[in-house]
């Protein structure tokens, strides 16, 4: 039995479905079901007896402790987090609550549970914390990619809250001996991503004939990682990673935002051409995000060398699979884009045009 927090979210649900397809081990999904958590993401496994869903807030320490007592997991994979930089700028409080306080409650419950286990179970227990490359700050065009020893320099309320949770995880290992693992990943993309992030936002706006908003000059660089490659990396770290270690996970795909958008437009021109003109005609530059980091890049050599993990998808294959999924699942997109989401999009981008 393993716990997966945030297992109804984008990366978490992909991990749960990937795991169920490969192993017989039961999974308890712990999710508060905020705007980005969606049980429909797990619909293909809804009748699988190995999947147990708990509608629980990780900030509720008593409820988390009760889940540990009831199910007695051998590991916990902690995805649950508020994760969108723009939302953290508009409302940082929820990011502190979930990412810092929630991680603390989870660590406390795990520590107390772990300390009471028998010796063999204690030795095998793992707490895997999923984090982000944004904790390292921003790179210049000629700087070396982030490594596991790069100093933390978070620049947004989101990345600061994740940095705080990373430090808590590290502290629980060094103070209490809790067998923790941390992964810091680059930008994920793929099925089930909530359409506030760049790739699904651009896809849906393009298909709706709406402007394609590009922050600033569009030259901000990100390293792109297909979500299933990330799931495979997390699985490898969970099973063979060394307790107390950090592993950076990247796709080795440094691409400028404007180039990501033009690639999406070209694929849509091929697969779903517009009646008039090209999708790139919809590109619109908007006022930049405050404190927008210029470049992220990950050096994944440690996880490649020590755990023999490498991404299986190139950006070209991964992005085509992603576009195909969104074209085939317009109903899913329509159901997650409710009124509150539309209001938020209008607020976020309407004021920047």
Positions marked catalytic: 133-134, 158
Query: How many residues does this entry show for the chain?
Result: 353
Written in H, E and C, the secondary structure of the chain is CEEEECCCCHHHHHHHHHHHHHCCCCEEEEECCCCCCCHHHHHHHCCCCCEEEEECCCCCHHHHHHHHHHHCCCEEEECCCCCCHHHHHHCCHHHHHHHHHHHHHHHHHHHHHHHCCCHHHHHHCEEEEEEEHHHHCCCCCCCCCECCCCCCCCCCHHHHHHHHHHHHHHHHHHHHCCCEEEEEECEEECCCCCCCCHHHHHHHHHHCCCCEEEECCCCCEEEEEEHHHHHHHHHHHHHHCCCCCEEEECCCCEEEHHHHHHHHHHHHHHHCCCCCCCHHHHEEEECCCCCCCCECCECCHHHHHHHCCCCCCCHHHHHHHHHHHHHHCHHHHHHHCCHHHHHHHHHHHHCCC
In the block, residue with structure tokens 């051409």 = 273
Q: Across-strand partners of 129?
A: 78, 182
> What is the spatial distance between Cα 104 and Cα 110, in angstroms, rounded to a whole number?
10
């Amino acid at each position: 039995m393993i716990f997966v927090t945030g297992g109804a979210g984008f990366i978490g649900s992909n991990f749960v479905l990937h795991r169920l397809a490969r192993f017989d081990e039961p999974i308890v999904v712990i999710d508060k079901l905020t705007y980005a958590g969606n049980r429909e993401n797990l619909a293909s496994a809804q009748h699988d007896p190995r999947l147990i869903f708990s509608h629980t807030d990780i900030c509720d320490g008593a409820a988390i402790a009760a889940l540990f007592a009831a199910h007695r997991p051998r590991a916990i994979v902690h995805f649950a987090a508020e994760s969108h930089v723009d939302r953290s700028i508009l409302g940082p409080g929820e990011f502190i609550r979930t990412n810092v306080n929630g991680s603390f409650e989870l660590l406390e419950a795990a520590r107390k549970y772990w300390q009471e286990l028998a010796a063999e179970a204690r030795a095998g227990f793992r707490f895997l914390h999923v984090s982000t490359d944004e904790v390292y700050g921003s790179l210049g065009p000629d700087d070396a990619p982030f490594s596991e020893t790069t100093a933390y320099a978070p620049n947004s309320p989101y990345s600061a809250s994740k940095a705080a949770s990373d430090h808590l995880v590290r502290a629980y290992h060094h103070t209490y001996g809790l067998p923790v693992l941390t992964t810091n990943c680059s930008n994920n993309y793929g099925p089930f991503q909530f359409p506030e992030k760049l790739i699904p936002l651009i896809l849906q706006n393009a298909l709706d004939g709406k402007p394609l908003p590009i922050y600033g000059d569009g030259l901000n660089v990100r390293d792109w990682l297909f979500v299933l490659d990330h799931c495979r990396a997390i699985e490898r770290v969970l099973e063979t990673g060394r307790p107390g270690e950090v592993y950076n996970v990247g796709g080795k795909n440094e691409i400028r935002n404007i180039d990501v958008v033009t690639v999406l437009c070209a694929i849509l021109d091929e697969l779903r051409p517009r009646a008039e003109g090209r999708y790139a005609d919809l590109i619109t530059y908007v006022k930049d995000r405050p404190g927008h980091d210029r470049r992220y890049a990950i050096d994944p050599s440690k996880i490649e060398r020590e755990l023999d993990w490498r991404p299986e998808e190139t950006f070209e294959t991964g992005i085509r699979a992603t576009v195909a999924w969104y074209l085939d699942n317009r109903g899913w997109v329509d159901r997650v884009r409710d009124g509150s989401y539309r209001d938020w999009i209008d607020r976020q981008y309407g004021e920047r045009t």
